[in-house]
Every structure is written in C-alpha cells, then in structure tokens.
Amino acid sequence: MKTMRSSILCFVVLLLFAPLLCAQDLSKYRHFTLGMSLTKVLERTEQRVADVKVVHDRPTLIQEVTWWPPNISETSLRSDGVEQILFSFYNGELYKISVTYNPSFTEGLTEGDMVKSISAKYGPATIVAPEIGSATNAGYETKQRPVVSWEDAQYSVNLVRSSFSDVLGLVLSSKRANAQADLAIAEAVKLDEQEGPNREAARQKKQTDDLEVARQKNQKSFRP
C-alpha cells in the first residue's frame, strides 16, 4: 500500500513538473545566450574590438556588433538561413539578438511554416506578438511587423517581418535589460539634443583654431 501511494505521488509530481522540464530556454540562440559578455561574443564570432560600434556612451554604455556568418567554401551562399546577426549590449551585457534571414532561404515559406519551425525549438507560440520597434542596422531600419512571439517572465523571442523589404527576422531580448537599455537610449538622445548646440560651437571653434595654427606654420615655411 505504501509503495502504491509513493508511486502515485511520484506520478503526480511528474505531471506537475513536466511542463517545466519540457520548457524551452528562450535566452539562447544557437551558440549565444542573452547576458553573455561582449568579450565572449567577440570570441565566438572571431571579431575584434574594432568591430564594436558605440551607439551611446552616456548615461549608460550601449554597443552593437554586426556579424555575418562565414560563407560555405564551395558556394557563395551562407551556411544556413542566417544573413546576419546584430548583437546589442547594455553595459557590456548582451541584451538583444536581432537575426536577419537570407531571403533566398525563406522564399516561399509562409508565416505558418516559420512558426512551426521556430516552435520546434522554443515551444508553443503566443499568437499575438508585442509591438517591436526598429533597430539600428540596415536590416532593421524600418519598423517591424510582429508575427508571433514566444515569452516567459524573463525573455521574449519574436518573429518579425520588415514592413519595407518583407524580410523575416527573429529578435530575442531580455525583458529587464531591454527596458533598461530603452530608458538609457532615450536619456542619451535627450542629452544629445540639449548639448547639440554647444558641441557644434566647440567643433567649429576647434576647426578655426586648427586652421589658424596651420596658417601660422605655413606663413613661416611657405616659399613661392
């Protein structure tokens, strides 16, 4: 009798925790994980610090790295459907991964086909996706039309389609870090607008001063 009760208890526990055991990790995309350091991403993409773009350096450091996966040696096509990946960093921490798919690999595929393929990795999708703003790289210049989202308490994965080029993409983000980055970017834009006139005046003054230094030097050395 005690053995039977124990078996029933184990069965109930398995039923309760089965969804958790089967839950997919929305923080991962292939070999990359949200929260990774900039250094680690550079190592895995074999890129250099010189490839890092500083979007804003105040009030918080916002950086980006664009990576094009290497070509197959025998053909000019990519090794799979990924055209490029934009990595976004907040204070050196990866908070967003924006994937642009190569149109030649998604040609003819319906949104349903894409959802089915992505759901195999991330589990059942949320049909109504949240609105996603545009990013800063060329593949995401225009606003994206959300197709489907996969979400949990910490992360979101969104299949999007460009409203301009009809190119499909996937955007993974940390909800916490993404919200913090959005606030920091808004503050940085505000600071740039406020300090813009003073910066332009300082730039023009430096340009004038440099020109005068060159003039003084050339006055002494120039011979007709």
Domain ranges of the chain: 23-184
Give CA–CA dist 58/144, Å, rounded.
27
The gap between the terminal CA atoms of the chain, to the nearest Å, is 112
pLDDT digits (tens, 9 = 90+) for 6-53: 444 343 333 333 444 445 899 999 999 999 999 999 999 999 999 999
Give CA–CA dist 211/79, Å, rounded.
52
Which residues fall within 8 angstroms of residue 82, CB to CB, at 6 or more apart?
Answer: 69, 99, 100, 101, 102
State the average pLDDT over residues 95-115: 89
Tell if the pTM clears 0.85, that is, is over it.
no
